[in-house]
Structure 1
Amino acid sequence: MPEGNITSVKNFFIVGFPGLHPKYYGLASAIMLVVYVCILLGNGIFLTLFVRDRRLRKPMYYIIINLVACDVLFSTTTLPKIIARYWFNDGVISFLGCFTQMYFVHYFGFANAFILAVMAFDRYVAICNPLRYANIVNDSTIMILCFASWLMAEPCVLMMAIRAYPLPYCAANTIVQCYCDHAAITKLACTDRTPYGFPALIFTMVLLLVPLAFIFFSYSSIMMAVFRISTTQGRLKTLSTCSSQLIIIALFFLPRCFNHMAPYVGISFSADTQILIIMLYSLLPPMVNPLIYCLRTKEVKEILAKSLTRSTFLQFMKNRVISMNITRAFH
């Protein structure tokens, strides 16, 4: 069937979880709203600390700020529409709007993968070449690498969108997913999607596996360097410097790899389970990452504690408690 001549779909409808009973729609939307607020709040706190305190103007924190931007933008691209779908039964998204969402979903996901590779590079140099760290990893180097991360994600995602947009969409318009992605959209095309789906799969694997391969190399080198340290205390101290990054990387890559590899090892899921896995690896890292930055990084933890101590609200509550205790003492 020739392309581009019978497209009659003007809107798509985002189904979300196909097996979810309508009586749970309110609960689902409330949970997603809480997740979205937590993502905005947690990442917003770190961004505020970064802007206000010059001690965080270091290469590692420039990387984290790029990760913060990626997490917030990805969540803002995906969550408001699915919240509206369950809260107001408004799952309709325009044809162009769906492709725009698809573009940004994949773009922010791939950019995130490259930024995590930059994070691994930072730890690799810090532990394997500590004497040269200041010369190799400086502000300008990290800024260039982070800019390259955003840039490298662009061509493949743009190509995926350009190839998918003119396909003929002439019948079904329901997307069984919580947001528009390439696989969910192209499945609805009235043509053989193999010539479009297979190159997209190759692009996806390359853009995820290349940074993952570098991350694996970096942390393998780090582990070998750690084992060469003579004292147990020295090993633990060195591992603690990269433990937070390892948690962030594991949250991003492991569920994705599991989801992609499961069909090839004989593991099958229902549509609801698969969507739940996708939502977990899409939204759990943006929600958990700020806790990791703040609670597992000594410098950030100290700055956060100092900021909370100086907080006007906390000072007001402290003075209020003191005045109440004085009043009770006199009575």
Structure 2
Amino acid sequence: MGAEWKLNDVNYTSISDFLFAGFPGLILVPELLGVTFILTYFLTLLANIFIFYVIRKHETLHTPMFIIICNLAVSDVIYSTVISPKIIQTYLFGNRTIKIHLCLVQMYFLHFAGSVDSFILLVMAVDRYVSVCYPLRYSTLITNTVAQRMCSVAWVLGAANPLLIVSYASILPYCGPNKISHLYCEYGLVVRLACTDTTFHLQMGISVGCLVLLCPFLLILLSYLKIIISVLKITTVSGRTKAAYTCSTQLIVITIYFLPRVFVYIAFTAGFSLQGDLRIALGIIYCLLPPILNPIIYSFRLKEIKQVMFKILKHKDITQLPSLS
């Protein structure tokens, strides 16, 4: 039984647990979903750790672009680890409840990892913008140190971003209902369960979302618009193809990450309610799909990583690989 408190001369008893709704309209064996999420999580860890290992181990890949990819891999592992274990527990063991304080912890790290991803993708866009639009100055403007510093700023901003919203969510009174219409503790859905007026808190969430989602997204769109213009001005076919191919890899990653999030954000801001399975499915897509697809995309589209992969498959020592330059 939770603590008692009074609101408008009415006594309420606070709750101590939240309950995840899951997929309300999905007719499937829960254990099958649990196994699916286990496999997804395992592959996510394996793929991102592989990318991180390859980049860290092979000095030829110690360039700004791969330093950024390495940071993204770490962020993706954190993102997936924050969400997947509880989803697996929900479907494999039938435990849909979560203590409120653990929900707040998950909320912090969920928004932390999501913010870091947004800012790192912005750093990636800046790297590609300078590479294509200022190729002669790229080596002096974007060094390994500069790339790592930009990524460090992304991590700091990502860590600071959720502090305010999670702090506000933690002091709200919760007395029921306690069902979260999702598979994890998303700020907006949790705050709506509070037994008080949450208009200010929801508006604050929208403002924070604009800062960490829409602002990077719009800056990325602007940078790629300028990249496209610069690519079209390249006279040689080989130069144009190389620039377009490299940038298209990042563009695929950015599209997978941002489009579902922007759609949900705009729908939430406009007051349009995404009900049931659609909201949950979109949440799963934009939280769990990018971490597993990112390393796959980089592995198959970047020749440097592909060459290293081929060497590994041939059982050669990665530390003795020849230069790929």
Letter in 1 for 2:179: T
> Displacement of 1:104 after TM fit?
0.7
Looking at structure 2, the residues matched to 76 and 263 of structure 1 have their Cα atoms a distance apart, in angstroms, of 26
1:278-310 CA-partner distances (Å, limit 9, x unpaired): 111111111111111111000010011111101
Residues 127 and 238 in structure 1, CA contact (< 8 A), matched pair in contact too: yes
Which residue does 1:220 correspond to in 2?
A: 225
Gaps of 5+ in 1: 313-331
Which residue does 2:121 correspond to in 1?
A: 116
* Cα pair distance change 1:195/1:267, threshold 3 Å: closer
1:143-202 CA-partner distances (Å, limit 9, x unpaired): 110010111123331000011111110122221111011012111100111011111111
* Cα pair distance change 1:165/1:262, threshold 3 Å: closer
Of the three residues 19, 27, 32, the one matched with 1:27 is 32
Looking at structure 2, the residues matched to 25 and 129 of structure 1 have their Cα atoms a distance apart, in angstroms, of 53
1:299 aligns with 2:323: no
Give TM-score, length-normalised by structure 2: 0.90
Residues 76 and 291 in structure 2, CA contact (< 8 A), matched pair in contact too: yes
Which residue does 1:39 correspond to in 2?
A: 44
Cα root mean square deviation, aligned: 2.0
Looking at structure 1, the residues matched to 311 and 216 of structure 2 have their Cα atoms a distance apart, in angstroms, of 36
After the TM superposition, which of the residue ranges 297-306 and 226-235 deviates more from structure 2? 226-235
Of the three residues 200, 206, 218, the one matched with 2:205 is 200
Structure 2 counterparts to residues 174-253 of structure 1, below 5 A: 174-253=179-258
Which residue does 2:151 correspond to in 1?
A: 146
1:12 aligns with 2:9: no
Give the paired residue count.
Answer: 309
* Cα pair distance change 1:262/1:185, threshold 3 Å: closer
Looking at structure 2, the residues matched to 262 and 126 of structure 1 have their Cα atoms a distance apart, in angstroms, of 35
> Displacement of 1:237 after TM fit?
2.0
Letter in 2 for 1:165: S
Structure showing greater Rg: 1
Residues 251 and 281 in structure 1, CA contact (< 8 A), matched pair in contact too: yes
Letter in 2 for 1:172: P
Looking at structure 2, the residues matched to 268 and 188 of structure 1 have their Cα atoms a distance apart, in angstroms, of 15
Looking at structure 1, the residues matched to 271 and 101 of structure 2 have their Cα atoms a distance apart, in angstroms, of 36
Tell me the secondary structure at the aligned position of residue 137 of structure 2. Answer: helix
Which residue does 1:271 correspond to in 2?
A: 276
Give TM-score, length-normalised by structure 1: 0.88
Looking at structure 2, the residues matched to 229 and 98 of structure 1 have their Cα atoms a distance apart, in angstroms, of 51
After the TM superposition, which of the residue ranges 149-158 and 257-266 deviates more from structure 2? 257-266
Aligned identity (percent) is 38
1:74 aligns with 2:79: yes
Tell me the secondary structure at the aligned position of residue 130 of structure 1. Answer: coil
Looking at structure 1, the residues matched to 16 and 262 of structure 2 have their Cα atoms a distance apart, in angstroms, of 34
1:188-234 CA-partner distances (Å, limit 9, x unpaired): 10011101111111111121122112211211111111111224443
Looking at structure 1, the residues matched to 83 and 138 of structure 2 have their Cα atoms a distance apart, in angstroms, of 38
Letter in 2 for 1:272: D
* Cα pair distance change 1:94/1:48, threshold 3 Å: same
Which residue does 2:321 correspond to in 1?
A: none
1:296-327 CA-partner distances (Å, limit 9, x unpaired): 00001001111110169xxxxxxxxxxxxxxx
Of the three residues 150, 171, 196, the one matched with 2:176 is 171
Letter in 1 for 2:69: I
Which residue does 1:259 correspond to in 2?
A: 264
